[in-house]
Amino acid sequence: MANEWQIERNAEIEGSWVNVLKMVFICSKIALIASLLTLAIILRIKKKGTFDGASFMIFVDICIMVGLIFFEFGQKFIFAFFIMILVSNYVNFMCFTLMLRNLPTPEGKFLKDKTRWYFIGMHVLYAACIGMSFTKTLGPFCKSDMLYPPVLSMAQCLFILNAITHIVFHKKDYWL
């Protein structure tokens, strides 16, 4: 629970020009990214002729970004924020999975075999993060002695691990 000083300080920050500038920047960035992702969906539908799983995942990412805007302007629920972040990270991971595991070339099977344990491990880590979210000490709850929940840190670590892995795979030319 916030004390009087924290409530007053928060009111000062929310009305400042820096906060307004931050909100304009965030909304502009999300609008640009959502527009580019929408274009990606349109181009993918034109290429594939159908709204497939990858298009759906991109659409989910757009919805999450728009949800984050509503979250920023409305009531803030840390559990909802955690769910949006984790789902967004998982969708990005699944897009990476689809990209690597569904190559329509002879190398596709080799790449699928080479990356199997990485993808299994990541699924286990995402499941562990979800499991931790139901515990009182690690879950997405703010407390007076711990403002940033450990599961949000875990979700961020999973995103970073996936990004680093993507870079390493790319630098190794995906072993092809």
Contact between 29 and 66 (Cβ < 8 Å)? no
* pLDDT at residue 17, rounded to an integer: 78
pLDDT score, position 1: 54
3: left (phi over 0), alpha (psi -120 to 50) or beta: beta
Instruction: Work out the average pLDDT over 48-74.
Output: 87
pLDDT band at 11 (very low <50, low <70, confident <90, very high): low
Is 90 exceeded by the pLDDT of residue 4? no
Query: Could you tell me if 93 and 57 are in contact, meaning their C-beta atoms sit under 8 angstroms apart?
Result: no
pTM score, whole prediction: 0.75
Lowest mean pLDDT segment, chosen from 7-16, 52-61, 84-93 = 7-16
How many angstroms separate the CA atoms of 112 and 123, rounded? 15
Cα gap 21→42, rounded to integer Å:
31
Q: Predicted confidence band at 131 (pLDDT cuts at 50, 70, 90)?
A: very high
